[in-house]
Amino acid sequence: MRPRRARRLRRRVRRQHHDRKPHPYRDLAAPGGRPSQLTEEEADTALARPRLTTGREDFADRDLVIEAVAERKEVKTSAFATLDKAVRRPAAILASNTSSIPLMRLGTATNRPAHVIGFHAYHRSK
């Protein structure tokens, strides 16, 4: 699987987290570290795409937003209410990585419950 040309945006709540890791996904794209076996050039190209932000307004034009906040109902529902206001595209999908909070509950924090889905990514064991 080759990296796609999608524009990626990653929001960090606090500005000081921006500098914690220069490339938050570097360990995921290391050559030989994933089943896709990216070359160094492919990894660098893929890692150049994500843009870090602390601004909610940067999410206005997104087609898909994947939430990954603390696994607490009040934190996630607040995040979805915020995303619902920030994401301007009516057909945009708001996805959650929750494993314990009903998606219906997260959907009711938005004006688009039919566009709230669950999303999980995982790494195969070697």
Active site residue 120: yes
So what's the pLDDT on residue 1?
Answer: 43
Same domain, 60 and 119: yes
Same domain, 73 and 36: no
- In tens digits, what is the pLDDT along the chain, a chain of 126 residues? 444 555 666 665 555 555 555 555 555 555 555 445 667 788 788 778 777 788 889 999 999 999 989 999 999 999 999 999 999 999 999 999 999 999 999 999 999 999 999 998 776 665
CA dist., res. 63 & res. 94, Å (int): 9
Q: What is the pTM of this model?
A: 0.69
So what's the pLDDT on residue 87?
Answer: 96
Domain range for 16 is 8-54
CATH of the domain at 92: 3.40.50.720
Cβ neighbours of 105 (radius 10 Å): 15
Per-residue b or e along 23-60, where b marks 16 or more CB atoms closer than 10 Å to that residue's CB: eeeeebbeeeeeeeebeeeebeebbeeeebeeeeeebe
Q: Which residue has the tokens 């606090």?
A: 14
Given the residues 17, 23, 115, 120, the one annotated as active site: 120
